[in-house]
């Protein structure tokens, strides 16, 4: 027998599919929804609907967008000779906030992780290669690919895998540096970060 009537059990089940949500939290969310006014719930459903209806993966860079290709890929203000590879759309957002990168992006939607069943075929990587030919890039040759995957073992493996594919094609592949957060006092940097920063030191 179910603990709750069928519609409630079904809702709990759906919440449990969300990342990071266990049974307890799923119950809390379900009961939160049950107590909301009908208009609120409808607005929520509408938002879910709309996001699935209108948001697609950009054909070129895999960014989430409501116009295809996305605004980054079609912007005349972006430098077309450098592509920055990130794991997730929110990594792109973080880089954009710096305003210091003016090139194009490519989003993998994940990183290599055999434990989670993510191999090269599960990454959105295949559509990177056509982009490297000038005829598919408004006549511009891609001179550099910056790999900005996370500094985890999974992110490193992904970066390494991509470098192995691109280097034979004669493209310059670079990895973003890891280390000290700027504006922080040396005293307050943890040893692991300091270690990375020392390893990645450069000539001045």
Partner 1 sequence: MLLERLEALNFRNLSGKIECSGHLNILFGENGQGKTNWLEAMHLLSTTKSFKTSRLKETICFGEELGIVRGSVKKSAEITHELQVALQGNSKILSVNGKKETVQRYLGELHAVVFNSDELEIVRGNPDARRKFLDNGIVAIYPAFVQTLSDYNRVIKQKNSLLQSALDHDYSLEKTADLLAPWNEQLVSLASRIHKARVRFVERLNTVLEKKLFGREEISIRYASSLEGRGDLGDYAALIEERLKFRVQAELVSGHALIGTHRDDLEVTFDGLDLRKFGSSGQQRSALLILLIANVSVYFEQNGEYPLFLLDDVDAELDYRRIGQLLEFLNGKTQTFVTTSKDSFVERFSAGSLVFSIVGGHPELHRT
Q: Which of 26, 30, 61, 125 binds Zn ion (CB under 5 A)?
A: 61
Does residue 23 belong to the site contacting partner 1 (CB under 8 A)? no
How far apart are CB 81 and Zn ion at their closest, in Å?
A: 16
Q: Which of 19, 37, 76, 117 binds partner 1 (CB under 8 A)?
A: 117
Which range binds partner 1 by CB under 8 A, 1-9, 57-65, 69-77, 117-125?
117-125
- In the chain, where does DSSP find H-type helix? 6-16, 23-35, 38-54, 71-74, 89-98, 153-166, 191-199
Does residue 120 belong to the site contacting partner 1 (CB under 8 A)? yes
Determine the Cα–Cα distance for residues 60 and 29; give it in Å rounded to an integer: 37
How far apart are CB 192 and partner 1 at their closest, in Å?
A: 4
Which range binds partner 1 by CB under 8 A, 10-18, 45-53, 58-66, 148-156?
148-156
Ramachandran region of residue 70, left (φ > 0), alpha (ψ -120 to 50) or beta?
Answer: beta
Angle between helix axes 23-35 and 6-16 (nearest 10 degrees) is 120
Contacts 24+ apart (CB under 8 A), 93-97: 95/148
Angle (nearest 5°) at CA 69 between 66 and 72: 90
Is-contact 103 84, C-beta < 8 A?
A: yes
Which range binds partner 1 by CB under 8 A, 33-41, 86-94, 112-120, 126-134?
112-120
Q: Which of 113, 127, 150, 174 binds partner 1 (CB under 8 A)?
A: 113
Does residue 87 belong to the site contacting partner 1 (CB under 8 A)? no
Does residue 194 belong to the site contacting partner 1 (CB under 8 A)? yes
How far apart are CB 127 and Zn ion at their closest, in Å?
A: 10
Task: Give the pair of three-digit tokens for residue 75.
Answer: 């912007």
Task: Give the pair of three-digit tokens for residue 48.
Answer: 């879910």
Binding site for Zn ion (CB under 5 A): 58, 60-61, 63, 69-70, 73
The residues of the shown chain that bind partner 1, judged by CB under 8 A, are 112-115, 117, 119-120, 152-154, 156-158, 160-161, 164, 190-192, 194-195
């Amino acid at each position: 027998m179910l603990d709750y009537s069928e519609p409630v059990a079904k809702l709990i089940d759906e919440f449990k599919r969300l990342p990071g949500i266990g049974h307890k939290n799923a119950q809390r969310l379900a009961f939160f929804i049950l107590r909301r006014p009908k208009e609120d719930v409808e607005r929520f459903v509408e938002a879910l609907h709309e996001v699935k209806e209108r948001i697609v993966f950009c054909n070129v860079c895999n960014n989430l967008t409501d116009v295809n290709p996305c605004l980054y890929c079609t912007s005349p203000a972006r430098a077309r000779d450098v592509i920055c590879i990130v794991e997730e759309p929110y990594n792109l957002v973080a880089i954009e906030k710096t305003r210091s990168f003016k090139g194009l992006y490519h989003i993998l939607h994940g990183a290599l992780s055999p434990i989670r069943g993510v191999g090269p075929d599960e990454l959105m990587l295949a559509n990177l290669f056509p982009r490297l030919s000038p005829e598919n890039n408004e006549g511009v040759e891609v001179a550099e690919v910056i790999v900005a995957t996370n500094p985890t073992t999974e992110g490193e493996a992904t970066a390494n895998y991509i470098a192995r594919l691109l280097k034979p094609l004669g493209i310059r592949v670079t990895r973003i540096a890891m280390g000290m957060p700027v504006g922080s006092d040396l005293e307050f940097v943890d040893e692991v970060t300091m270690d990375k920063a020392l390893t990645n030191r450069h000539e001045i």
